[in-house]
């Protein structure tokens, strides 16, 4: 979607997560946490897409709530991968910034949608 910022950002984020998980598996031989971050990190955009196609306002809000929760979970897994030395903090600052930006945008959409 050309003009939908959150759709584009979550899709780009999912691509980054897929690449990150591929690197974790090949370079670091880490499979358990990489599966978790792959699942939650790609689910954000999938739920945003579902929200775009929602059949009602409550459905829209529900899908965005799920996307928000998945973004929080993704942040947790990335922080855990950093804390356990699977990811170097300096090389993951961009993905954490992107995650925070997605959380802020979804949070803002949720606030304005409930009015």
pLDDT given at position 53: 96
Q: Give the integer Cα–Cα distance in Å for 102 and 11.
A: 11
What is the span of the domain harbouring residue 100? 5-113
pLDDT given at position 72: 98
Q: Count structural domains, the chain.
A: 1
Instruction: Work out the widest C-alpha separation in the chain, in whole angstroms.
Output: 47
Task: Please state the rounded mean pLDDT for residues 89-96.
Answer: 89
Q: Give the integer Cα–Cα distance in Å for 93 and 85.
A: 14
pLDDT given at position 91: 80
pLDDT given at position 46: 98
Q: How confident is the model at residue 11 (pLDDT cuts 50, 70, 90)?
A: very high
Q: How confident is the model at residue 7 (pLDDT cuts 50, 70, 90)?
A: very high
Does pLDDT of 1 surpass 70?
no
CATH of the domain at 65: 1.20.1440.60
Does pLDDT of 104 surpass 60?
yes
90 or 70, which is more confident? 70
């Amino acid at each position: 979607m050309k003009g939908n910022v959150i759709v584009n950002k979550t899709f780009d984020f999912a691509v980054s997560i897929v690449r990150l998980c591929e690197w974790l598996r090949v370079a670091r031989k880490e499979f358990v946490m990489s599966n978790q971050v792959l699942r939650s990190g790609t689910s954000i955009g999938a739920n945003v897409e579902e929200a775009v196609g929602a059949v009602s306002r409550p459905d829209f809000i529900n899908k965005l709530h799920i996307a928000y929760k998945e973004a929080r979970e993704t942040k947790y897994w990335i922080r855990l991968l950093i804390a356990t030395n699977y990811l170097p903090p300096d090389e993951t600052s961009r993905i954490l910034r992107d995650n925070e930006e997605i959380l802020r945008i979804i949070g803002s959409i949720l606030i304005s949608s409930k009015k």
